[in-house]
Structure 1
């Protein structure tokens, strides 16, 4: 399950120096493109309010033309992903300068365009300068970007942990973790993959009437469709009719691993937003019962709506805390999809790498163990339990089993998942003798 990282309040951002009463702010010049304006606002909200970039983009890009919306996403997600690298560049081209968040956001976009998109220099500079106005920090934006034009800059190599953290823009603690768990070469490949655009994968819903000719072009892998080219999922009539739903190929491997059968009683803990829940229902041909547990009232309502849209008529949504969930009747199969650090989804959640901390992982492990214990208590003798997390963190692999699989972005081209299964489990969660 995607993480729900604790939110922090707005950062203290430096204030501009006091100006004489007669001073006049500089006027804006050339108009800023709608895509850049939306991207800048998203980056500002991430910097100032600790907002989630994907949620902020949904608001700020509303009403944009498809081309502008795509550019806004590319700019905003790229600048947020590369924040570590961009701040490293700023520290070298403008050492010791304190920047207001709006100015820093404009500078992030300008540097990102120059270093990673190859945008024409005059466009990246002029637009970033205009975004920084009316603050007098626009002069610094202009100076830094002009210097970057003239001199360029060489990023550190990734032969060391510190260099790799800057070059690939990941927090150093995370690079250290993966360096230890995966090895240096695999870590470098994973870091690079995290900054690539994520593929758009859909699941074709077998509970709906599917007209294959109406599906967008792409590569089919069973019920998975990897879309080629741009496609507005939420705006598609196929989505509204429950024919398709966005779901990574890695996430689509989880429900089949549990292998639910028609007529069985299945428990899905921490079920929202419902991708795996509705997949379980489809594999069961909507026969039997899926009990989907979600603690948050709003997410439980959204889960109910998703099940209705996806024709998952055998799903019962229960608003309850998965850590303390009990049932009078045992379940044939149980899926545990607990809150996790989400470190396997950094391509689709560009700000997540800056939100997760080692302390947060330690806290999540406690929650995961409690949910796993509740799942084990609800499992019928001889039943099957699957524990799945969308992360790359050995500490969060809480179910001991040799029957498991892992996906990695740099190897499999999809999200990073760790999935383990036990069949005939005891209440301790270990395989029965």
Structure 2
């Protein structure tokens, strides 16, 4: 079963359970000799099983009864795979989900427990018509079990958005992520990219607001095989991330600093908006991640970006920049659909640690901005400790700074009554993001 997609998914889940990052583990899994359909199935099984593990564990506890406490961890991973297929994959026949899971048990040292796998999965099928998942009565725990999140994330969202919108957000973050492109206007027009995609059989749709944005509708396969990749016509970037650079609104000839640049999506977008005229300093403290920034610059044909490994908290650029972007490291609660295991890795403690780091970056970056210059703070999270609270604390401790109204299109379309931007996925069909523009 070495090249069977379910076996490969099982091995990947084992590696993730040992501490591996889902994205890295899956990337290695997809290097196996699998057909494209099998790669897609393995990807769905790995990401889906990790993303839905709390719901799947609740089902195993409910259906397995006394057996669930004595199940070896690796057997539970096999049950995750089987139940995920039965509950969430409509294109997999129930018999196939059961039989392949039983075979996984037999082939991976659990032949004596194959009957347990068969029994639990068939019991789920019998109860499927009545939606067999038993849910807690507490509203927070009900959403957390039903949609598979830690309680604390649901609590944070419920406090901001209310229970109904939190359920919409939980559901949205469990969908497979879409792939968005940002067209490089220095190399191609959006019409040119659309035509090339259509000719190759790839359907795309435009953003109603963002001028360089396309969304892939029916793509399957390697991104680098799409027309225009090698020519630098476009790069992959979510629509919300594209909005950040429009919020910065850099002008040709200016000096712009991207304090946390890797992997380079926003640095390259800033350079494109400037017509590759002026300078964009792209900093990141991890040299290996900066290689990706330079690769993107080279492929897109951009020359105004200066890439340098540095911790922005220790950099001195006093009053030198027209515009500064702090796209801060964050908990990523706005992009949980893109990183299946992130919801299980983050905790309230890691959020507080990140908030401390964000404040340090923001304080130092503020010293780089020229008088009347612009400082933009952005995150891809939906946690007030990293967003609104961060800005309010900065303004309290920096009385010479103010929240600057965002008046430039297209960013102005998303401004809240508070003066900052908070992109809500269930409203805008984009990643969850926060942006604030500051000036002094």
Range class of TM-score, shorter chain: 0.7 to 0.9
Match of 2:152 in 1: 173
| 1:214-229 pair list within 5 angstroms | 214-215=196-197, 216-221=202-207, 222-229=211-218
Length-normalised TM-score, structure 2: 0.85
Corresponding residue of 1:135: 109
Change in Cα spacing, 1:289 to 1:165, as seen in structure 2 (3 Å) is same
Equivalent position SS for 2:250 = coil
Which of 92, 97, 102 aligns to 2:74? It is: 102
1:43 matched to which residue of 2? 13
Contact 1:198 1:414 in 2 (8 A): no
Q: 1:326 to 1:407 in 2, by over 3 A?
A: same
Query: What SS does the aligned partner of 1:206 have?
Result: coil
- The answer to which structure, 1 or 2, has the higher relative contact order (CA under 8 A, 6+ apart) is 1
Distance in 2 (CA, whole Å) between partners of 1:241 and 1:117 is 37
Deviation at 1:85, TM superposition (A): 0.1
Q: Which residue of 2 aligns with 1:324?
A: 314
Q: Distance in 2 between matches of 1:271 and 1:242?
A: 19
Aligned residue number for residue 148 of structure 1: 124
Summarize the alignment of residues 198-209 of structure 1 with structure 2, pairs less than 5 Å apart. 198-209=177-188
Is residue 407 from structure 1 mapped to residue 423 from structure 2 by the alignment?
A: yes
Cα distance change of structure 1 residues 168 and 286 upon mapping to structure 2, 3 Å threshold: same
Q: Equivalent residue for 2:433?
A: 417
Q: Secondary structure at the match of 1:234?
A: helix
1:179-222, CA deviations, whole angstroms, 9 ceiling, x for partnerless residues? Answer: 11211111011011111122211111112245332134211122
> Structure 1 regions of 5+ residues with no counterpart?
1-30, 426-433
Query: Matched residue pairs, number?
Result: 393
CA distance in 1, matches of 2:428, 2:346: 23
Contact 2:318 2:369 in 1 (8 A): no
User: What's the secondary structure of 2:381's corresponding residue?
Assistant: coil
Tell me what 1:112 maps to: 84
Is the CA contact (8 Å cut-off) linking 1:171 and 1:353 kept in structure 2? Answer: yes
Distance between the aligned counterparts of 1:234 and 1:103, measured in 2? 37
Q: How does 1:291-330 map to 2 (within 5 A)?
A: 291-327=281-317, 330=320
Deviation (angstroms), 1:98: 3.1
Instruction: State the partner residue of 1:18.
Output: none
Q: Determine if contact 2:59/2:133 at 8 Å carries over to the other structure.
A: no
Residue 311 of structure 1: how far off its partner (Å): 1.6
Partner Cα separation in structure 1 for residue 138 and residue 69 of structure 2: 29
Q: Shift in Å at residue 102 of structure 1?
A: 2.6
Please give the per-residue CA displacement for 1:263-290, whole angstroms capped at 9, x wherever unaligned. Answer: 0000001100010010001000100000
* Correspondence for 1:80: 50
d(CA) in 1 for partners of 2:11 and 2:3?
12
Moved more, 376-385 or 174-183: 174-183
Offset at residue 296 of structure 1 (A): 0.6
Summarize the Cα distance change of 1:208–1:159 in structure 2 as closer, same or farther, 3 Å threshold: farther
Displacement after TM superposition at 1:35 (Å): 2.5
Relative to total residues, which structure has the larger helix share, 1 or 2? 2
Q: Deviations over 1:11-70 (max 9, x none)?
A: xxxxxxxxxxxxxxxxxxxx58732223222222222x2222222211101243222222
CA RMSD, Structure 1 to Structure 2 (Å): 1.8
Worse-superposed segment, 148-157 or 348-357: 148-157
Q: Is the contact between residue 263 and residue 284 of structure 1 (CA under 8 Å) also seen in structure 2?
A: yes
Q: d(CA) in 2 for partners of 1:252 and 1:98?
A: 49
d(CA) in 2 for partners of 1:176, 1:346: 16
Per-residue deviation, 1:354:
0.6
1:22 counterpart residue number: none
1:6 aligns with none
CA contact (8 A) 1:35 1:68 kept: yes
| CA deviation string 1:79-133 (max 9, x = no partner) | 1110000011111112343333332221101001111113312110111122223
Is 2:35 the partner of 1:65? yes
Q: Unpaired runs of 5+ in structure 2?
A: 393-402, 404-417
